[in-house]
Chain A
Amino acid sequence: MRYVRFLLPLGLFIGLVFFLAAGLKLDPKEVPSPLIDKASPTFSLTRLEDANKTIRKEDLLGRVWMLNVWASWCVACRQEHPLLLEFSRRKLLPIYGLNYKDERIAGLKWLSNFGNPYDSSLFDQDGRVGIDWGVYGVPETFIMDKQGVVRFKHIGPLTPEVIRTRIEPLVRQLNV
């Protein structure tokens, strides 16, 4: 009974420390996407490089593909860009860009300056398609399976770890 007086507060304290430590590791910016394992939103947008050609969701069914949301005004996109370029050279899957709330000329100039990792970029000038995809922090990266279901979402710049530990295994698994 004597010890309980000391052990109880100590136990409570240790419990609190664990809760707070776990809380420090959680990133409040990483909001779980409700789109995961749901059919991807429909879209029909013109290509950034050709205003007369549209790409619709249906055009990409039957393939595992990546959607990377970017903009010429987005600083973190530039940070992620070399990695994405390198990843695109490995041709693991088609990569489509979603040029989010940008100007066509600025977007094209950005790609010619820094390199173009995308098979094509969809031009979402007013950001409506971005809203449908729940975009709130550019860059964002999604991976869709052959049925057009969203299987993965990453918010913020891609890192070598994310590509190696999450994206590569997932693409391999989906392409089986």
Chain B
Amino acid sequence: MFKLAFTLCLVLLTIFAHAEEARPASEDPALEARMLSITSELRCLVCQNQTIADSHAGLAIDLREQVRSMLKNGQSNAQILDYMTARYGDFILYRPPLKNSTFVLWIGPLVLLLTGFGVLIFVLRRRSRMPAENFDPEETDFTEDSHSSTRSS
């Protein structure tokens, strides 16, 4: 009997419980979306592997608020990024601008890729000129460690 009453109470209690969708932090969803698109380009300097959009650090919250108020004042994305780099340097940008000090950063991977292709072409060409018997399967000596038989040239 007690159990039934208890259950009934619990069921009746759910009348007072009602869920809502999480409200956006700002009244203006369009502004909020722009704010998020800008801050996801910015590195949080307190927790460096997060964007300012993601981070819960106090500074990130302040900077999101700053971006919001700058957007409300009608400032452009470029103006806001300038504002941030003037204070925190290029390091705050996840896509730093191309200039002398960031040249290696931007060009480096391309150079490595082209070098890799160069080496690949060089090796393939040299192999194509080799006589066919160079490519005969090696006689595997099972008494030896099998790793030592992987060299082929």
Residues of A participating in the B interface, judged by any CB pair closer than 8 Å: 28-29, 31-35, 101, 126-127, 131-137
Contact = CB atoms under 8 A, between A and B. Distances in A.
Contacts of B46: 136-137
Nearest to A28: B48
A127 B62 CA distance: 8
A57 to B, nearest CB: 16
Given A131-B87, A136-B59, A137-B46, 11 more contacts: A29-B48, A31-B88, A31-B89, A32-B89, A34-B85, A34-B86, A127-B62, A131-B63, A135-B59, A136-B45, A136-B46
Contacts of B45: 31, 136-137
A175 B63 CA distance: 36
Interface residues of B, number: 15
B87 A101 contact: no
Given A31-B45, A101-B58, A127-B62, A133 B87 contact: yes
Interface of B: 45-46, 48, 58-59, 62-63, 66, 85-91
Contacts of A31: 45, 88-89, 91
A9 to B, nearest CB: 12
A32 B88 contact: no
B140 to A, nearest CB: 24
21 contacts: A28-B48, A29-B48, A31-B89, A32-B91, A34-B86, A34-B87, A34-B88, A34-B89, A127-B59, A131-B59, A131-B66, A131-B87, A132-B87, A134-B87, A134-B88, A134-B89, A136-B45, A136-B46, A136-B59, A136-B88, A137-B46
B79 to A, nearest CB: 15
A160 B18 CA distance: 59
B58 to A, nearest CB: 7
Contacts of B58: 101, 127
Q: Sorted from nearest, which 7 A-B pairs have the closest CB atoms?
A: A136-B45, A134-B87, A34-B89, A31-B91, A134-B88, A127-B62, A136-B59
B48 to A, nearest CB: 6
Contacts of A127: 58-59, 62
Contacts of B86: 34
B127 to A, nearest CB: 16
Nearest to A136: B45
Nearest to A33: B89
B115 to A, nearest CB: 11
B7 to A, nearest CB: 47
B62 to A, nearest CB: 5
A155 B75 CA distance: 30
Contacts of B85: 34
A76 B133 CA distance: 70
Contacts of A135: 59
